[in-house]
Structure 1
């Protein structure tokens, strides 16, 4: 009686096969080198990627660079890397016609599937580790271990910033695993077709486009890629963990379901027939339809558990987020100008916002938000005011652009006793908690 080869030996064999491919080696090398060079080069440029989250702080701290790389990786790099590592791991055997030889040598389809899945996971983790490690080294080397300004305007110590940056990278492993599961499913069901290789990237692109639409909160959070952008909730005070945790759980469920579907379909394959190399019909009925059902169930479950209004972006939330961020940043500006110290409680900042012609109960994303921030200084009777134009994206991120007065937020530099310095109140990023209450 033949004894199947142990999973550990099959895993080592599959891992060696995977990393022996020149394209995998090249990608691993790029992930461990390119982010450091990119972050170091951009941090020394006069023009920064201010349209990217934390891009405006790349001159100020080395911890901004890894977050810029994280934003790019979630949109483009990780889906493509997952396609290379997981989308072709089964299809390669179909193209080479080596299934029967592999089965004769190992004598267990279950162990073959486990080994290939684990080998793909190992390569994905290696690639992610390279991205985060390289970007951190590049940022700290080029700029230094300085405090980081959060999305609520508060100043995070270098140690706190380091912990949140690493945690943010850990969080995006969940949607990466979801794409990996989809890649395994596509590789099993589509066989020789190149669509199996492209499937994770195409799914990620579809989810990215969906996140740009004015979708209900329940639909937005039910997409398995939400954690690719939900990590920004770690950089507010208090942390906006609700959407992020839901996104992580949804991603892990998708990863599990997609992998189990791939496993069951793999065990049902007829390896004695060279014609059984993938079927679009099987991919639709046994792959796409179950995942579509999972999406529908997830949307319904989130809608029941978190009955939030359509967009989750409401006037009171916007006003509260803006006022909090302004107070933190005003304190930083006060320190830059060497004025008497003031804290957020003393400022008692507030905001009044309108969206277009809507003055009450405004809601939704858009670049037509206009807000007036008011604050009070100790021993000063007059109330200070500043105007901001807000551009809010459907996922809750906003960019506040100062519109005067000039000495407060109307210019990108402030004159200090030691020379001109960047004005923290001129333009800054913030975030609206989609699941938060409207009480400010």
Structure 2
């Protein structure tokens, strides 16, 4: 608990003072500009590693510890009701996990704001979020990842009840989380991807676009809460029917594995069927037109930001008429799905000029729709990481930028 409330603050404060930033991490490139970026970098790390491990320690061990110590008979004599014992342990797990997630969010946010400042944040489509709007969306993002954390906690309760003294109960949430991370790297259909509770650990990205990409967020949160309720209900049903007459409990044999895996497999199948309407969306949900729109929108917003840096005449997105033409593998691969072989040519117009400006980007597109665009010239636009301004050199917002493709968008 102490680590959750202290370590994020030390991490954000330390990294924000470094000259080299984690630019390969979502929002990492903005940690010098706003304190809210540090909270989002912490959120990305927590969803990948910290929260699955915390659920294993808290929920995966809460029943197992009684088996190791042989204290079930004493607890039953004192309380007399297995139902009350289960409810107390489940609620205590929930309380501790909520307190830990709150600590991670508050600690990282407070440190970022105090060290860097309560400044505006650049969103995932290049538009600027005011400081107040950024703070509200950061809070919502942390609230969203609480749902998949509860899903893993329910799986932890089930493993702790089933496997008794075996360490499998403690490891089950972490193993399931790792398996979902591996699945997230695969080019899965949209329906299968959204049926995994782990999708909510990345779908919060959609909060930082305009308009917000709410479809994947609401679906991921809903699926995660269903996983949490069903896994907890299975754990309760097994626990109240258990024989406590022995000195210990260890069901890590074939029956426990079958009973433990069956609910998880059933949840995946039912979840896939529940979100099957999204199966009408082509394949992975990443198409050429979506990538074109996302790149063009982000470039237009960031071009205006660069214009302000250079004190050039202001322009609007309508005046720029930005468009993008993206392809894969030099046109030899079907332009859809994730990959690091996307190449985009961005075109724009300036008021009063007949010439068309063009810039090239190389894209690393992830299966969840997030991508990083790396500028490949011309140098005066996006070919160098600094721009020369009247106040000195400043980071070039067009050199590299992160953006997001809405997997559930049905826009042609």
TM-score by length of 2: 0.98
The match for 1:393 is 366
Structure 2 gap segments, 5+ residues each:
none
CA shift at 1:237, angstroms?
1.0
Q: Report the Cα distance in structure 2 between the residues aligned to 1:224 and 1:281, rounded to whole angstroms.
A: 26
* Contact 1:314/1:438, CA 8 A, preserved across alignment: no
CA shift at 1:61, angstroms?
0.5
Deviations 1:73-108 (A, max 9, x none): 000000101111100000111111111111111111
- Secondary structure of the equivalent of 2:402? strand
The match for 1:271 is 244
The match for 1:33 is 6
The match for 2:286 is 313
- Secondary structure of the equivalent of 2:344? strand
CA shift at 1:438, angstroms?
4.2
* Contact 2:144/2:200, CA 8 A, preserved across alignment: yes
CA shift at 1:282, angstroms?
3.5
For 1:33-432, list aligned pairs within 5 A. 33-274=6-247, 276-358=249-331, 362-432=335-405
Q: Report the Cα distance in structure 2 between the residues aligned to 1:424 and 1:191, rounded to whole angstroms.
A: 54
* Contact 2:68/2:248, CA 8 A, preserved across alignment: no
Q: Report the Cα distance in structure 1 between the residues aligned to 2:15 and 2:97, rounded to whole angstroms.
A: 26
CA shift at 1:335, angstroms?
0.4
Residue 275 and residue 90 in structure 1: after superposition, are their counterparts in 2 closer, same or farther (change >3 A)? closer
Q: Report the Cα distance in structure 2 between the residues aligned to 1:235 and 1:43, rounded to whole angstroms.
A: 21
The match for 1:15 is none
Aligned residues: 412
* Contact 2:382/2:399, CA 8 A, preserved across alignment: yes
- Secondary structure of the equivalent of 1:370? strand
CA shift at 1:190, angstroms?
0.2
Deviations 1:331-375 (A, max 9, x none): 000000001111111111000011014379611111111111011
Q: Report the Cα distance in structure 1 between the residues aligned to 2:231 and 2:261, rounded to whole angstroms.
A: 10
- Secondary structure of the equivalent of 1:226? helix
* Contact 1:189/1:282, CA 8 A, preserved across alignment: no
Deviations 1:102-151 (A, max 9, x none): 11111111000000000011110111111011101111111000100000
- Secondary structure of the equivalent of 1:428? strand
Q: Report the Cα distance in structure 2 between the residues aligned to 1:262 and 1:408, rounded to whole angstroms.
A: 58
Out of 338-347 and 70-79, give the one that drifted further.
Answer: 338-347
Q: Report the Cα distance in structure 2 between the residues aligned to 1:344 and 1:180, rounded to whole angstroms.
A: 46
Q: Report the Cα distance in structure 2 between the residues aligned to 1:76 and 1:290, rounded to whole angstroms.
A: 24
Q: Report the Cα distance in structure 2 between the residues aligned to 1:380 and 1:283, rounded to whole angstroms.
A: 72
Q: Report the Cα distance in structure 2 between the residues aligned to 1:64 and 1:47, rounded to whole angstroms.
A: 15
Q: Report the Cα distance in structure 1 between the residues aligned to 2:19 and 2:232, rounded to whole angstroms.
A: 46
Residue 362 and residue 438 in structure 1: after superposition, are their counterparts in 2 closer, same or farther (change >3 A)? farther
* Contact 1:189/1:280, CA 8 A, preserved across alignment: no
Q: Report the Cα distance in structure 2 between the residues aligned to 1:437 and 1:378, rounded to whole angstroms.
A: 32
Q: Report the Cα distance in structure 2 between the residues aligned to 1:324 and 1:205, rounded to whole angstroms.
A: 34
Q: Report the Cα distance in structure 2 between the residues aligned to 1:360 and 1:87, rounded to whole angstroms.
A: 45
TM-score by length of 1: 0.92
Deviations 1:1-58 (A, max 9, x none): xxxxxxxxxxxxxxxxxxxxxxxxxxx1111111001001001101111111000100
- Secondary structure of the equivalent of 2:346? strand
CA shift at 1:437, angstroms?
2.2
CA shift at 1:276, angstroms?
3.8
CA shift at 1:275, angstroms?
5.1
